Amino acid sequence: MEDFLTGKKHIHFIGIGGSGMYPLAQILHSKGFYLTGSDNNPTETLDLVKKMGIPVYMGQRAENIEGADLIVYTAAIMDDNPELIAARNSGVKVIERADLLALISARYSNSICVSGTHGKTTTTSMLTQIFLAGGTDVSAVIGGKLKAIGGSGIAGNSDTLCCEACEFLDHFLKLSVDVAVVLNVDADHLDYFKNLDNIIRSFHTFCEHAKKAVIINGDDANSMKALEGIGGKDIITFGRSDKNDWYAENIVHSGNLETYFTVMHKGEKFCDAVIHVPGEHNIINALAAAAAAEYSGLSAESIAKGLDDFMGAGRRFEKFGEYGGITVVDDYGHHPAEIAATLTTAKAMSFKRVWAVHQPFTYSRTYMLMDDFAKALSVADKVVLTEIMGGREKNTYNVYAKDLCEKIEGCVWFSEFEQVADHVCENAEEGDLIITLGCGDVYKVARMICKKLEERFN
């Protein structure tokens, strides 16, 4: 790939407030590049960008790109965006965020890229926390916020990069990968991949690109299928069964949010660990992080400390508050498998009822996986839907939230967030758990619910 960064002095980010753009801005800012950016909505991430001294324009207009000799945009920016149109007509080099991340990843000799349909953000966050515990001045690009670093990324001075590797549009195939981590492979982004076989093929190519090692879920059939024919590098497996190189024993769930277990490595005790995020799936994530950290030379003590220090990534079963015995949690889950795992975990806790407040994201995913969504959401006791958030798509599928609602017994849907919050607050009872689910802006509903409950009980 051409090195677009060489000789560039002024880089402009269209959509700089996105969680995926922020860590790239951090890294380039730390390397002395002059940055500017624009965004349409004020966010906490955008505030962090401004605190770095980066000029930010609110609203996206053609004049914002003036003076830039490289322009970066995110996949969420539509082709009819006036700033992107001006950029493409300017004669200045214009690249998508994934291409910039690829260039940045090539500047590290220990680039650990965490892939998988589910669990990428949590595992990348765990791994980053472990490196911090071990004293490594790590760089990180994470799809969510990690409290320990105050955002979704950090610019370090070591040769280690912890990078979330997303399969969307095959973006992860652009990365420079030293160590490939594969958590799982499932059907998603079918508007692009069309079928599961194509997804598995892409993950196979991702594994091929790894220069040093592939660390992979040995219990996930699709992941192992993607691994077929891969050689010339270290292959390390993790999972629930003891056939894997890394597995867990002596698992004890203590309370709603703590799990104790023994990390096993090739039949021998490696360390005792505790994680403060619920669910069996997070034990698997922790094993993947432990395997990648140990491969990079970190000690058992550092790995155990890092896992213990990790208090969850933002929007991953993140507790917003408790009011009158009603607990409000927000989660990024937007795929049926993720939603099912989150709700199953919640149902195993000591709550009276579990409410799922879900914002479907993209028309294609909702349409293609509708029956799977209905089955996953039905795990909850009460289901409330918002209208679909189209994101980068137009509704060519003629699909609406009411279509999904009709497939779930007792489900209701509302077009406005305020209506959703009112309905939930009017009907929730002491002992209930309310989970907002989705990768869009459904977290705003959780905040509305918290505010209304606080007003009621205080």
Task: For residue 120, indicate whether it is catalytic.
Answer: yes
3-state secondary structure of 371: helix
Cross-sheet strand order for the sheet of 326-331? 318-323, 326-331, 433-437, 354-358, 382-385, 412-413
Q: Considering 117, 120, 366, 436, which one is annotated as catalytic?
A: 120
**Inter-residue contact 71 to 12 (CB < 8 Å):** yes
Identify the residue whose tokens are 């996930």.
220
Which residues have CB under 8 Å from 328's CB, separation 6+?
319, 320, 321, 322, 434, 436, 446, 449, 450, 453
Task: For residue 205, indicate whether it is catalytic.
Answer: no
Q: What distance in Å separates the CA atoms of residue 420 and residue 405, rounded to the nearest whole number?
A: 14
Q: Considering 117, 136, 164, 208, which one is annotated as catalytic?
A: 164
Task: For residue 258, indicate whether it is catalytic.
Answer: no
Q: Considering 36, 74, 117, 121, which one is annotated as catalytic?
A: 121
3-state secondary structure of 429: coil
Q: What distance in Å separates the CA atoms of residue 155 and residue 140, rounded to the nearest whole number?
A: 7
Identify the residue whose tokens are 């209905």.
374
Sequence length of the chain is 458
Question: In the chain, count of helices (H) and strands (E)?
Answer: 16, 21
Helices (H), 4-163: 22-30, 44-51, 82-88, 97-105, 120-133
Identify the residue whose tokens are 């930010």.
56
> What is Dmax (Cα atoms) for the chain?
63
Number of Cβ atoms within 10 Å of the Cβ of 362 = 22
Secondary structure of the chain: what % helix, strand, coil (to 5)? 35, 25, 40
**Inter-residue contact 100 to 14 (CB < 8 Å):** no
**Closest Cα to residue 12, out of 63, 75, 48?**
63
**Inter-residue contact 178 to 112 (CB < 8 Å):** yes
**Structural Rg of the chain based on CA atoms:** 22
Active-site amino acid positions: 120-121, 164
